[in-house]
Structure 1
Amino acid sequence: MKRVAYLTGHYPRVSHTFIEREIEGLRAVGHEVQTCSIRRTARSELSGPAQEAEQARTWHVIEAAKRPATLLGAHWHYLRHHPRRWWQTLHLAVRTSADGPRALLWQLFYFLEAAVLARHLEREKVAHLHNHLASQSCNVAMLTSALSGIPYSFTIHGPDTFFEAPRWHLAEKTRRAAFVSCISHFARSQLMCFADPADWDKLKIVHCGVYPEAYTAPETEGARLLFVGRLVGVKGPRLLLRALTQLSGTHPDATLTYVGDGPDRVALETLARETGLAERVRFLGYQPPEKVAEALADADVFCLPSFAEGVPVVLMEAMAAGRAVVTSRIAGIPELIEDGVSGRLVPPGDLGALTDALEACLSDRDAARRMGEAARARVAAEFDARIEARKLSAHIEAAR
C-alpha cells in the first residue's frame, strides 16, 4: 500500500486526537504513515505521555527549514533538477496569496517550507500527502505537491475556512487535490459553493470517528452536566453557565464540569463566583483521552452549546458513552444527532431553549437513557474511526 505523509499545523495536539485515530486506522490497514507538523506543539497542549511520544516520532517542517543547509539545499535541488516546476510553484504561491504585503510575505515563507517538505517526502519515498484543515498548512501541502509531483489531498472541517474562503483559495486547492475528504454533507455543500463544479466529484464524505468500545455507559442518577472543549466564545461555555443559573430553581443540586482550557477560563471562573455557582462548577483544564472518557462515564448530561462548528468529535465521544447530549442545531451536527431520538438539538444562542432541553434531560431520566442508548448505537454504526479510515485508505489508493 502507498506510503503516506500526514501534515497539519500542529501535530499532535490535545484537541486533535481524531487525527491520531485516523492515522492509527491507516496504519492498521497497511499504510506506512510519516507524520509531519509545520510547528512543534507546545508541551502545555499535549495531553500526556502518549502524545509526547507521538511528537517525538513527528518530523517538524519549520525546525528543518531553520537549518540553512537544509533550506538552501532543498531549493537548489529543485532549481537544478526541476527549474520549470520551481518557477511555476513560486508563481502559484504568489497567485494564491491573500491580499496585502504581509500575507504575501507569509505565502513566500510557505513556499520556502514547501521545498524543504517536498525534499523530505521524496527521500522518504512518500507516495501521497494528506493534510488536515484547509488553511495555512494546506497552503504548504498544495505548494509541496506542485513542487514534488506527489499527489495531495486534504480534509476540510469548517467553519472558519468557509468564513474566509477567498483568502484560502479553496477552489484552487480543490482543483489541484486528488480528492478532498469532507467531514459531513454540510461541509461538502459549503465547499461546493466555492469549488468548480467540474471538481465536485472529488469531494468525498469521510467522517471523523471514535473507538466506541473505549467508552463505558454506566447508568447515572444525578444532575451532573459536562462540557468538553476549548473555553472560547464560539463553543458557548458562558451560555451554559447562564443555563445552570436558570436551572437552580428546579435542580439546585445540578453541577457543571468544564474539561478543557482557553482564553475565556478566567472570565468563566469569575462569573461562577459572582453568580454564586463557584461550589457547583469545576474547571479541570485539558485532560488526556482516558480522563475524558472517565468524565463522560461520570456525567449525566453532556452539553456543547456552540455557535459555529463542523461536526465535533467530542459529541461522538459523549454519544459512545451513552450520555444524553444537548447541543446546537448547526452545520453538520444534525447529521450526527436526531433531535429527540439520539440527543437534543436547540437553536444556537437560545438560552431559553438550551435551559429547557437540559431541564427535560434531568427531569425525565428514562427519556435521557433512551436517547443515550440510541446515540451509542448510532456512533457504533456510522462513526467508527476504523471504518472511516478504510474509506480514506481507498481514496488514497485510488488517487493519481
Structure 2
Amino acid sequence: MKAPAPRVLMVGTALEGRGGVAAVVSVLRRHGLFERESVRYVATHRDGTPLVKARGALSGFWQTLVTCLRGRPAVVHVHAASHASFLRKSLVLLIARLAGCKTIFHLHGGGFRTFATEEAGGLLRRWIRHTLEASSLVITLSEGWAQFVHAFAPRARVAVVPNAVPLPDLPAQDAAIPGRVLFLGRLEAAKGIHELLEAGARVVRETRGPSPLRLAFGGEGDAQDLRRRAAELGIAERIELLGWIGPAERDAELRKAAVFCLPSHAEGLPMSMLEAMAARKAVVATHVGGIPETLRDGDNGLLVPPRDEQALARALARLLGDTALRDRLAERARATIEQQYSTEVVCGKLSAIYRELAGTRR
C-alpha cells in the first residue's frame, strides 16, 4: 500500500546520531507529534566517514526533492545550525520553496551568531540573511535568539519554541553521590571543560578537610587532553570519563549526580541542561545564549560568567556545601520544566504553527 502523503516534511540529522538536534527530534517523535501531524522525517547528515556523510547528504537531498514534487507537503521544517549544517538545510529550503511549500528554519546551535556575523564572508552572509527572510517562519529557542534574528534579518518572521523535555519518573529516595558533579556534552574547550577542571581543582584546594569532589564527564571528544590537564592540576584521580552515553545511561548518571554543570562559552538552549532540570538536579551553568531565560540565578539554578573558573568554583562549592539550597534549586528546576518545557506544551506549539502555515484549523 502506498504511504499517505506527508503533511509536514521534517529534515535534520539522523536520529541515531549523538547530537542535540537528534535528541530534540527523538523527543517529538516519541511524544506522537509525527503521527498527529503526518510528519515524514528525512536525514541529510549522518555521523561517520566523509564518504558516509556525503552519501547521507545526497540521499537526503534526493528524498527531499521526490517528497516535495510527489507528496507536496504543506510545510517543510528543517533543523539547522552553523557551517555545513546551514548549507545543507539552505539547499533543502530552496528546493521546498521552488516546490511551493511553506518553510520553517529551526535554529539550533550556540555558534550561529558568530558564524553569521563574523565567520561568513559577504556573499555567504547575504545568503544566510536571504534564507532566514525567505522562510515562512524562523523558530528560535529563546527570546534572545529571536532578537538576534530580527536584527540580522529584519524581514524574517520569528517564533520562539523551546526544546521539549520528557519528564522522567523521580526516584523515591535520593541516589545522589555526595560531591559528584556531572557534565554532559562534547569534550571541547568551547563547552568549558577546562574551566570546570580548574574550578574543581580550586574547590579541592580551598575545602577544609577532605573534599568529596568528583567530576564525571559524559561525551565524546579529546579525552586525552582532559586527562592531561587534570593531571597537571593534581586532580587526575577525581575525574571519570564516561564516553558517549545513551538515554538510559544518562538517566542513571543524572540520578547519581549531586550537581549538574555546563560551563559553555556559547549555547542555544542545551538539551543536557534541560534534562538535568527535569531530573530534579541543581544546575550550575553560564550566562550565555538562551540559558538565562530558563535558568534564573538563585531561583532554579546558579549562573556564572563564561570563562570564569573562580566564579564557577564559588558556585560549585556553594552548592556542594549547602544541602538545603541544592534541594530548593532542584525542586524549582523540575517545576520550571513541568510548566514551560514539557513535551505537551512544545508539541502543542508546533502543531499550532503547522496548522497556521498549512491554512487549516482543528
Task: Classify the TM-score, shorter chain.
Answer: 0.7 to 0.9
Change (3 A) 1:311 1:39: closer
RMSD: 2.3
CA distance in structure 2 between the partners assigned to 1:210 and 1:255 by the alignment: 27
Residue of structure 2 aligned with 1:40, choices 40, 46, 54: 46
Deviations 1:330-355 (A, max 9, x none): 12111111101100000111111100
How far the C-alpha of 1:248 sits from its partner, in A, is 1.1
CA distance in structure 1 between the partners assigned to 2:229 and 2:198 by the alignment: 9
Residue in 2 aligned with 1:63?
59
CA distance in structure 1 between the partners assigned to 2:186 and 2:241 by the alignment: 12
How far the C-alpha of 1:319 sits from its partner, in A, is 0.8
Residue of structure 2 aligned with 1:7, choices 11, 14, 19: 11
Residue in 2 aligned with 1:205?
160
Is the counterpart of residue 140 in structure 1 residue 91 in structure 2?
yes
Is the counterpart of residue 354 in structure 1 residue 312 in structure 2?
yes
CA distance in structure 2 between the partners assigned to 1:314 and 1:256 by the alignment: 16
Correspondence list, 1:133-282, <5 A:
133-134=80-81, 135-165=86-116, 167=124, 169-196=127-154, 198-199=155-156, 202-214=157-169, 216=171, 218-219=173-174, 220=176, 222-249=178-205, 250=207, 252-262=211-221, 264-282=222-240
Deviations 1:270-294 (A, max 9, x none): 2223333222111011111121111
Residue in 1 aligned with 2:52?
none
* Mapped contact 2:319–2:326 kept (Cα < 8 A): yes
SS, match of residue 325 in structure 1: strand
Change (3 A) 1:26 1:153: farther
How far the C-alpha of 1:163 sits from its partner, in A, is 1.3
CA distance in structure 2 between the partners assigned to 1:311 and 1:215 by the alignment: 23
How far the C-alpha of 1:120 sits from its partner, in A, is 3.1
CA distance in structure 2 between the partners assigned to 1:12 and 1:140 by the alignment: 23
CA distance in structure 2 between the partners assigned to 1:177 and 1:358 by the alignment: 43
How far the C-alpha of 1:161 sits from its partner, in A, is 2.1
* Mapped contact 1:341–1:374 kept (Cα < 8 A): yes
Ranges in structure 1 where 5+ consecutive residues have no aligned partner: 44-58, 65-112
How far the C-alpha of 1:390 sits from its partner, in A, is 1.4
Deviations 1:56-107 (A, max 9, x none): xxx955137xxxxxxxxxxxxxxxxxxxxxxxxxxxxxxxxxxxxxxxxxxx
Amino acid at match of 1:133: A
CA distance in structure 2 between the partners assigned to 1:341 and 1:210 by the alignment: 20
* Mapped contact 2:57–2:88 kept (Cα < 8 A): no
Residue in 2 aligned with 1:306?
264
How far the C-alpha of 1:39 sits from its partner, in A, is 3.0
Ranges in structure 2 where 5+ consecutive residues have no aligned partner: 50-54
Change (3 A) 1:164 1:346: same
How far the C-alpha of 1:149 sits from its partner, in A, is 1.5
CA distance in structure 2 between the partners assigned to 1:33 and 1:231 by the alignment: 33
The normalised TM-score by structure 1 is: 0.77
CA distance in structure 2 between the partners assigned to 1:330 and 1:257 by the alignment: 22
Amino acid at match of 1:33: V
How many residue pairs match? The answer is: 332
CA distance in structure 1 between the partners assigned to 2:47 and 2:69 by the alignment: 25
Residue in 1 aligned with 2:25?
19
CA distance in structure 1 between the partners assigned to 2:179 and 2:107 by the alignment: 36
Q: Which moved more, 1:154-163 or 1:211-220?
A: 211-220
How far the C-alpha of 1:247 sits from its partner, in A, is 1.2
How far the C-alpha of 1:178 sits from its partner, in A, is 1.5
SS, match of residue 212 in structure 1: coil
Change (3 A) 1:192 1:215: farther
Correspondence list, 1:43-122, <5 A:
60-63=56-59, 113=61, 117-122=64-69
How far the C-alpha of 1:269 sits from its partner, in A, is 1.4
SS, match of residue 173 in structure 1: helix
Amino acid at match of 1:5: L
SS, match of residue 279 in structure 1: helix
Residue in 2 aligned with 1:289?
247
Deviations 1:334-383 (A, max 9, x none): 11111011000001111111000000001111111100001010111101
Q: Going by fraction, where is helix more abundant, 1 or 2?
A: 1
Amino acid at match of 1:334: P
CA distance in structure 2 between the partners assigned to 1:221 and 1:9 by the alignment: 35
How far the C-alpha of 1:9 sits from its partner, in A, is 4.4
Residue in 2 aligned with 1:129?
76
Change (3 A) 1:218 1:331: farther
* Mapped contact 1:36–1:61 kept (Cα < 8 A): no
Change (3 A) 1:25 1:154: farther
The normalised TM-score by structure 2 is: 0.85
Amino acid at match of 2:302: R
* Mapped contact 2:72–2:101 kept (Cα < 8 A): no
* Mapped contact 1:141–1:152 kept (Cα < 8 A): no
